[in-house]
Amino acid sequence: MKTLLWCRVAAQAGRTILMVLLVVIAGQLAGCAKSQPCACEVPRACCRGLVPQCAACEEGLTLDAWLKKTCPDGETDAHYERWDEETQKAIWVCDEGTRQSIQISD
């Protein structure tokens, strides 16, 4: 009789442990965090030419905004002169006139 009682207690304890494990595992699976979408900006692919259109793209500006920033006296065109080692910036020569424009796609 004692053996039978002990077997029942052991079986109940085993079922209890199994149920606890199942609940814990189910909780782990149900509680997995879903991945959040990236709120990152996709970097722009800019040309690397030494022309105003490429320089404007690299700075994230329109060509008109870049010309206003680079040529404050109102010139409508610019061309690359050289790289200034001291300031680590490109030197642009501003002038009037129009040259053949190129189309840069986004």
In a domain, 11, yes or no: no
Average pLDDT of the chain, as a whole number: 80
Q: What is the pLDDT of residues 20-30, one digit of tens each?
A: 666 667 666 66
CA dihedral 68, 71, 72, 73 (to 10 degrees): -120
66 belongs to a structural domain: yes
Q: What is the pTM of this model?
A: 0.52
In a domain, 18, yes or no: no
pLDDT of residue 41: 78
Domain count for the chain = 1
Q: How far apart are CA 71 and CA 58, in angstroms?
A: 17
Taking Cα atoms as reference points, which of 87, 89, 70 lies closest to residue 79? 70
Give the domain range for residue 79: 52-95
Rounded to an integer, what distance in angstroms lies between the CA atom of residue 23 and that of residue 89? 63
In a domain, 16, yes or no: no
Summarised one tens digit per residue, pLDDT across range 52-94 is 999 999 999 999 999 999 999 989 999 999 999 999 999 999 9
Mean pLDDT of 1-15: 63
